[in-house]
Amino acid sequence: MLLLGTGLPALASDVPPLRVSTLLGEARRPVTLFESDELDPPELGMSRSLGEASQQMQQMAAVEQGSEASDVPLGKGIGTRISASETLAYDSNLFRLSGPAAARAAGLAGMGSWASQTRLGLGLEKSRAGQQWVLDYELGVHRFGSFGFLDHTTQTAIGRWRWTAGPDWKGELSAERREALDDFAYYRNQRRSVALTQQATGSAFYHLGAGWHLGVQAGQGSRRYPDGARPGNEIDFAGLDTVLRYAPESGAVVAVTRRRASGSYPNVPTGSGALAETSFDQDELFAEATLPLKSGTRLQLRLGNVSRSYGRYAQSDFSGRNGLAGLDWQLTPRTRVSAALRYDTEPAQDFVSSYVAVRGLRLGSLWEYSPKLRVEGRLEWRDAEYRGDPGFGARAAARREDKGVLAALAGNWQIGPRTRGVATLMREHRGSSAAGLDFDYWTLSGSLQWVF
């Protein structure tokens, strides 16, 4: 049996999706500092049809089509794309162990390993009369030099229909099927653990006028382990967002979201004396704002409240506040710096706590040396305090607290019109008041990516 600590996945340059917010295809929060052992409820957010990327895609389609809506044949413009990438990485502490003694106790010859990742992707897009259909498929082959039992192949398939109805209605319907290796922070034995997540989402937004939008987005899905590796971690989840959004011509965006979400664990024991929770309901209300201060500089704000109730032990219920304040500053035409301060309340089910309060600070920089070469850096600090009483009758003399610092540097080189190279170097130290959960590691990775 491997005794593994908490931390990031093995390939730091390619974090496997584990949280439901990520599984639902939404962008990660500006600061990702803590990985909860329990899945978050669906973090659906605002429809991608209102996002900048979708608007740019619609503009590209409009140029391709001309002044009137017409069919865009496959193979032209944004109709088809084929992608391929090869990544080679080294991780000095693949399983986030506290040291060589922990590796020997787990029966491992060492702590670090080389790993390779090959990805092949195919995308089809078709637009007609204000509608857009997108199909994406990706095959991933993952190999680990020193830990061959982790070798695996994954497949991802996504289908989307971005629709419009007249000048005021727009939305999206999507279905996704994803396979991914579980985060090593919670992978505690030498059996490969690949999760299959399937989900369906739908959204509809109405333009009220003068920059105001009102909409809903709903999602439902499940995570399963076809190989039977972790039946107790399988989950069914669902969520519903109601969003009021204001986006005036000044470039500011303000949104208020009410979120209701639920989850259930179909394989958790329910008999007398069982300790694990079988289901939860979560309610969130939060406001977000992105405010332009001057050319190229923006202020990001988020403030909200979250509460969760469980189906078995009322002592596990918790509530708390979430907040974020960040600044993205265009220092020079080629240089950007950013800073974000975050406080979050997240679930953390174990025998001595039911939630974790996380404080974090992130500093980032982006330097465009030339139109083809870009260098990025980031520095993160986090402090996670485990709180609450799960009602299992267990008490701890001192609550667990984790503190960590992470530094990363990445270079992005546009080698040619369809070829890009990426290199990353990352180092993290995490200390914990709980025995055996502190660790250090560094990773080095490089990849070549092609798009045809």
The DSSP result for 207-220, as a single string, is EEETTEEEEEEEEE
Structure tokens at 162: 């971005």
| Angle, alpha carbons 356-238-287 (nearest 5°) | 60
pLDDT reading at 89 higher than 50: yes
Structure tokens at 49: 């049809």
* The predicted structure's pLDDT at residue 351: 56
Structure-token match 């608007």, residue found: 55
**Looking at residues 360-369, what average pLDDT do you find?**
94
Q: What are 318's strand-pairing partners?
A: 308
Express each pLDDT in 313-355 by its tens digit.
788 888 999 999 999 999 999 999 999 999 999 887 555 678 8
pLDDT reading at 6 higher than 50: no
* The predicted structure's pLDDT at residue 207: 94
- What is the pLDDT confidence band of residue 71, given thresholds at 50, 70 and 90? very low
Alpha-carbon distance of 49 to 163, in angstroms, equals: 8
Q: Decide: 23 and 102 in contact? Cβ < 8 Å.
A: no
pLDDT reading at 372 higher than 60: yes
* The predicted structure's pLDDT at residue 392: 54
* The predicted structure's pLDDT at residue 272: 62
> In what helix (H) or strand (E) does residue 20 lie, and over which residues does it extend?
helix 20-23
pLDDT reading at 296 higher than 90: no
Q: Decide: 324 and 31 in contact? Cβ < 8 Å.
A: yes
DSSP 251-292: S-EEEEEEEEEEEE-TTS--STT--S--EEEEEEEEEEEEEE
* The predicted structure's pLDDT at residue 184: 63
Percent of the chain with pLDDT over 90: 53
Mapped onto helix, strand or coil, the DSSP state of residue 21 is helix
66 against 115, higher pLDDT:
115
Range with lowest mean pLDDT among 94-98, 118-122, 312-316, 351-355: 351-355
- Evaluate the CA torsion angle 266, 270, 274, 275 in order and state its sign: positive
The residues spanned by each domain of the chain are: 20-451
**Looking at residues 178-206, what average pLDDT do you find?**
80
Percent of the chain with pLDDT over 70: 77
**Looking at residues 60-84, what average pLDDT do you find?**
47
pLDDT reading at 38 higher than 50: no
Q: Domain 20-451: give its CATH code.
A: 2.40.160.10
pLDDT reading at 275 higher than 80: no
Maximum Cα–Cα distance across the chain: 70
Kind of pairing between the strands at 401-416 and 80-91: unpaired
* The predicted structure's pLDDT at residue 295: 75
Structure tokens at 437: 């959960």
Kind of pairing between the strands at 169-181 and 152-165: antiparallel
* The predicted structure's pLDDT at residue 397: 56
- What is the pLDDT confidence band of residue 121, given thresholds at 50, 70 and 90? very high
Alpha-carbon distance of 219 to 224, in angstroms, equals: 17
Burial 371-382 (b: 16+ CB within 10 A, else e): eeebbbbbebeb
- What is the pLDDT confidence band of residue 107, given thresholds at 50, 70 and 90? confident
* The predicted structure's pLDDT at residue 13: 27
Nearest to 437 by CA among 168, 99, 180, 132: 99
Q: Decide: 81 and 451 in contact? Cβ < 8 Å.
A: yes
- What is the pLDDT confidence band of residue 44, given thresholds at 50, 70 and 90? very low
- Evaluate the CA torsion angle 230, 233, 239, 245 in order and state its sign: negative
Alpha-carbon distance of 388 to 139, in angstroms, equals: 42
Non-local (6+) Cβ contacts of 400 within 8 A are 352, 353, 385, 386, 432, 433, 434, 437
Mapped onto helix, strand or coil, the DSSP state of residue 235 is strand
pLDDT reading at 235 higher than 80: yes
Structure tokens at 331: 């220092």
**Looking at residues 158-187, what average pLDDT do you find?**
87
Q: What are 207's strand-pairing partners?
A: 213
Non-local (6+) Cβ contacts of 106 within 8 A are 1, 2, 3, 4, 95, 97
- What is the pLDDT confidence band of residue 22, given thresholds at 50, 70 and 90? very low
* The predicted structure's pLDDT at residue 190: 60
**Looking at residues 408-418, what average pLDDT do you find?**
94
Alpha-carbon distance of 307 to 256, in angstroms, equals: 17
pTM, rounded to two decimals: 0.78
Q: What is the mean pLDDT of the chain?
A: 79
pLDDT reading at 76 higher than 60: no
* The predicted structure's pLDDT at residue 40: 33
pLDDT reading at 395 higher than 50: yes
Q: Decide: 7 and 430 in contact? Cβ < 8 Å.
A: yes
Structure tokens at 62: 């409009």
pLDDT reading at 19 higher than 80: no
Mapped onto helix, strand or coil, the DSSP state of residue 242 is strand
Alpha-carbon distance of 169 to 68, in angstroms, equals: 19
18 against 54, higher pLDDT:
54
Express each pLDDT in 298-324 by its tens digit.
999 999 999 999 877 788 888 999 999
* The predicted structure's pLDDT at residue 429: 94
